[in-house]
Structure 1
Amino acid sequence: MVVGKKQNRILVLRYRFIGDTILTVPFLRNLRRAEPDAHIAWVVAPGSAEVVKGIPYVDELIYWDPVTIHADSQGKHRTFSDKLAFIRALRARHFSKVYVLKRSFSSAIMALLSGARERIGFNTEGRGFLLTKRVPYCSDRHEVENFLDVLKSDGVAVEDDFLEFWSTPEEEAAAVQLLSGAGANAGNGLVALHPFASIAQRGWHLENFATLAARFQEQGLTPLVLGAPCDRKTFDDARRLFGAGTVDLVGKCSLRVTMALLKDCSLFVGNDSGIMHLAAAAGIPLVALFGPQSPVKFGPWSGKAVVAYKKFACSPCRQKFFTECEPSPRMRPACVEAITVDEVFSEGMRLLNLSKEGKYGNEQ
């Protein structure tokens, strides 16, 4: 750094949701490479920020925690006074540039109120007048690509686009201990299943996952089920469907230990979810199940991934179940029910075989 030169101070706005948070990492890595001496701060949600603990590309995480129905929030910025104090704290940091990766009008307002002279973001929701550089948002491109387009529009070179996360030796040891206590061995043919979805109708039915688990067991593999504490009741109601050889880890480990555990698995199969994106970041083969939502924007960003998706005339839909289509007897839309156990099992075994051979299909 040149002595006496004022340090560039950059703010990045992309908060809420595990998936959105982990998909922002390539943006931050390329930004850091271009700005090695800058102070880079990232506004994140407290809960989802867990997945980027240890990130080396930012100097500061700033927690924004308003009341919202869309994320796990404690609502620390609940009142007008709370929000005003947050904005004042942003202004006190004297940012010169803000990248607004959120597409909402409110995030552009936050960028303006931060006091930054340069405000670069997507030209969406009629907020372009609040930005100094407006970037087109493409609905037919993956979110990672859209984020990187923001950098490119600002003249920043993009050299790579892979996902990553950072687990500690302690978390990795905890994962091994957890598996051992459940009668499983790390790296010994573990197949992680995540059968839950934020909206049940979006997810493949638990009966399908149970049948899939039995098929993997027949191949000498060990299926294990991952889920959050809020998924416990749902899994308890369906536990009888799964054989005794299925390892039940639903609600039994923290998000951070779950991330470390994913690295020990040979394959992941799961619904469209934040955990699916973490499996992609872990670098393991995976089969992602998509129904009403298109995988174009939020599919797994990995060269080791396969998407099971049946496109209907109504796909993707507004997900107002069930006003636009008739539910199946199991209360799922046709696009979800059309995905068969046979095809998911076949794709999973194909990826496992490619892994043994040291090569993968479906490269990004």
Structure 2
Amino acid sequence: MAWPDLRPQRILVIRYRFIGDTVLAIPTLRNLRQAFPNAKIDVLSEPVSGDTLALCPYKDELLYYAPRLKGEKKRASKHPTSLIGITKFLRARHYDRCYILRRSFSSAILPLLAGIPHRVGFATDGRSFLLQRSTPYADKHEVECFLDVLRADGIPINSTHNENWTDPATDARVAAALPPGNRPRVFICAKSIVTSKDWAPERFAELIVWLVNERGCEVHFCDSPALADYYEQIRAALPSPLVREWHDWSRQLSIKESNSLFQRMDLAVGIDTGLLHLAASFHLPIVGLFGPLEPWRWHPWDTAHTIVRPNDVTGPRPLLRLSVAEVKAVVEPYLQALANR
């Protein structure tokens, strides 16, 4: 096939669940758009995680699917929540091709049931027979694994760089609300929905005291309001004078609006979670605290970063083996570089 393919095809990309994985799909969407410049390219994603692609210029529509978890009762939703519901929804849209950036069996059977004739994805969970073309899920970074799905269909990969976008109106709102002055702005990402990735609230509090009192930094947060109790534990562990330095945007900015905050930060420090991938998409330097998951597959993509990981990652909370002093030692060179710029 000659590239670019100028036909006005209708293409669906499936990437629902998890903020980080959704952000890591941006290079795939860019190369897909370059290959099919006249196509309608829609992304099937999940509420909240899909919002990270709201400003992405390489897709046309964001379609939302809110699948119920195993054992979860039926719930009200303005988006399809069942395989039958989403199948009917997609079938009515008459897609020509589908690229599946998930590895589950259900995500491969969905486009088949939806009548999409050309389906490409990972050869995992014994699902190759459901696909026209497939690729192994290789032991390399998730961005490259996603790009392998395009490579399996003969699509050229012209670039792998990271990028993201902001809304000018939100940019202005964030800029007006930031504290005055030129102190280094450090974004802290402290909580994962996967507790085995977590560090400890009192250690984050100790790190924040050092960042503010000894290194003259501002500290910012913007996480899901559902995690507010965990962040409150950090705030409660701070000395009283430091509470005023607590810049929490979680109830002020949505996930897509948080892009405007990330572009105003100087450094991100946090555990392995989706917000670090959002930070990386704005090329923020990152110090990532990694526990059970492999850094070579999930490290921040296309930005300066340092991974801090204990030698022993066994057990339920391996990051508890990391001391605050070890994290400070890795953060310090980034602060020195900011001071010298």
Q: 1:169 is matched with which residue?
A: 168
Q: 1:328 is matched with which residue?
A: none
Q: 2:58 is matched with which residue?
A: 57
- Cα deviation 1:323-353 (Å, max 9, x = unaligned): xx4xxxxxx73x3123222232222221233
What secondary structure, in the 3-state scheme, does the structure 2 residue paired with 1:166 have? Answer: coil
Q: 1:25 is matched with which residue?
A: 26
Are the aligned partners of 1:229 and 1:250 in contact in 2 as well (CA < 8 Å)? no
| Pairs within 5 Å for 1:1-364 | 7-68=8-69, 75=77, 76-78=79-81, 83-138=83-138, 140-179=139-178, 184-185=179-180, 188-217=183-212, 218-243=214-239, 244-245=241-242, 246-249=245-248, 251-254=250-253, 255-312=255-312, 315=313, 325=315, 333=317, 335-354=318-337
**2:65 & 2:297 partners in 1: Cα distance?**
25
Are the aligned partners of 2:7 and 2:36 in contact in 1 as well (CA < 8 Å)? no
Are the aligned partners of 1:98 and 1:120 in contact in 2 as well (CA < 8 Å)? yes
**1:311 & 1:9 partners in 2: Cα distance?**
48
**1:25 & 1:147 partners in 2: Cα distance?**
10
Alpha-carbon deviation of 1:74?
6.2
Structure 1 residues 257, 343: closer, same or farther in 2, change over 3 A? Answer: same
Superposed CA RMSD in Å reads 2.4
Are the aligned partners of 1:46 and 1:64 in contact in 2 as well (CA < 8 Å)? yes
**1:257 & 1:97 partners in 2: Cα distance?**
31
With the length of structure 1 as denominator, give the TM-score of the two structures.
0.82
What secondary structure, in the 3-state scheme, does the structure 2 residue paired with 1:42 have? Answer: strand
Are the aligned partners of 1:65 and 1:74 in contact in 2 as well (CA < 8 Å)? no
What secondary structure, in the 3-state scheme, does the structure 2 residue paired with 1:227 have? Answer: coil
Alpha-carbon deviation of 1:357?
6.1
- Cα deviation 1:150-174 (Å, max 9, x = unaligned): 1122221112222222211111122
- Cα deviation 1:218-269 (Å, max 9, x = unaligned): 1222223333212222232342322434323063322233221111111110
The one-letter amino acid paired with 2:199 is W
Alpha-carbon deviation of 1:186?
7.2
Structure 1 residues 223, 6: closer, same or farther in 2, change over 3 A? Answer: closer
With the length of structure 2 as denominator, give the TM-score of the two structures.
0.88
Are the aligned partners of 1:195 and 1:271 in contact in 2 as well (CA < 8 Å)? yes
Q: Which moved more, 1:157-166 or 1:14-23?
A: 157-166
**2:300 & 2:208 partners in 1: Cα distance?**
21
Structure 1 residues 117, 68: closer, same or farther in 2, change over 3 A? Answer: same
What secondary structure, in the 3-state scheme, does the structure 2 residue paired with 1:20 have? Answer: helix
**1:42 & 1:227 partners in 2: Cα distance?**
24
Are the aligned partners of 1:197 and 1:272 in contact in 2 as well (CA < 8 Å)? yes
Are the aligned partners of 2:184 and 2:338 in contact in 1 as well (CA < 8 Å)? no
Structure 1 residues 345, 185: closer, same or farther in 2, change over 3 A? Answer: farther
Are the aligned partners of 1:207 and 1:241 in contact in 2 as well (CA < 8 Å)? yes
- Structure 2 unaligned segments of length 5 or more: list them: 1-5
Alpha-carbon deviation of 1:279?
0.8
**2:119 & 2:112 partners in 1: Cα distance?**
7
- Cα deviation 1:181-201 (Å, max 9, x = unaligned): xxx237631111122121334
What secondary structure, in the 3-state scheme, does the structure 1 residue paired with 2:329 have? Answer: helix
Alpha-carbon deviation of 1:111?
1.6
Structure 1 residues 11, 144: closer, same or farther in 2, change over 3 A? Answer: same
Q: Which moved more, 1:124-133 or 1:165-174?
A: 165-174
The one-letter amino acid paired with 1:221 is C
The number of equivalent residue pairs is 328
- Cα deviation 1:259-311 (Å, max 9, x = unaligned): 21111111110111111111111211111111122222222113311111124
Q: Percent identity?
A: 34
- Cα deviation 1:35-58 (Å, max 9, x = unaligned): 111111111112211111121101
Alpha-carbon deviation of 1:6?
5.3
